Copies of this chain bind each other. A is one copy, B any other.
């Protein structure tokens, strides 16, 4: 590979859905990241057999789906909204209640990020749960990548940044084709400091403190566990579905 072919594909990170308009382009694959807990929960639902996950931005939209008979998850400020079937704990998205089901979900941050990026070339869901499958696919696609961190109410958060750093490290270690934007350069360093013990690294973070109050230590540990799934959820016509295995294998070959 010539030098001008190497380092030719951009990977960058955006720390808030509110900043997405500044970063958006027509070319990039956008990876939605909401580690605690929406994107971890969505990946879990697919691993446990969910047919489709419809992300919606508002509780009102979620309620409309609930009235139509759908299974609906709704979370605000870390807590399940009354009258719905799930919050956003990944442990809710397991077993018979998700298997072969179409599930609707709205969360404080993650589904807002999906909404912001819905017009992108391609929108996929990332979490530690599916990180290796996601990274292998991103490398095979040979497209610019934008890691869109959901954050907390449009502010930067540490756990989404950590995951974006992990993806950046994986992509730049496995191939020389990616050129990091400044945010990814910073995140790669951050991940290198954190990777020996991510749970400890996050112990001072705002969101972990928030979740600890809600007694969700088990969720946090689960959400930081890599490679429980090899499914990549992708947005198609407003709903998340599994990225077809055929397309994945073809592009990886």
Given contacts A16-B19, A16-B22, A22-B18, A186 and B204 within 8 Å (CB-CB): no
Chain B residues closer than 8 Å to A153, beta-carbon distance? 22
Most buried by B among A22, A152, A153: A22
Q: Does A252 contact B (CB under 8 A)?
A: no
Name the B residues within 8 Å of A156 (CB-CB): 13, 15, 181-183, 186
User: At the interface, yes or no: A154 with Cβ under 8 Å from chain B?
Assistant: yes
- Which residues of A are in contact with B by a Cβ distance under 8 Å? 12-13, 15-16, 18-19, 22-23, 152-158, 161, 180-183, 185-186, 189-190, 192-194, 204-207
In the complex, 30 of the A-B residue pairs with CB atoms within 8 angstroms, ordered by the A residue number, are: A15-B15, A15-B183, A16-B22, A18-B19, A19-B154, A19-B155, A22-B153, A22-B154, A22-B155, A155-B183, A156-B181, A156-B183, A158-B182, A158-B185, A158-B186, A161-B186, A180-B204, A181-B206, A182-B205, A182-B207, A185-B204, A185-B205, A186-B186, A189-B189, A189-B190, A189-B193, A189-B194, A190-B190, A192-B193, A193-B193
Taking A22-B153, A192-B193 as known contacts, 12 extra A-B pairs with beta carbons closer than 8 A to each other, sorted by chain A number, are A15-B15, A15-B156, A15-B183, A18-B22, A19-B19, A19-B154, A156-B182, A156-B183, A158-B182, A185-B204, A186-B186, A189-B190
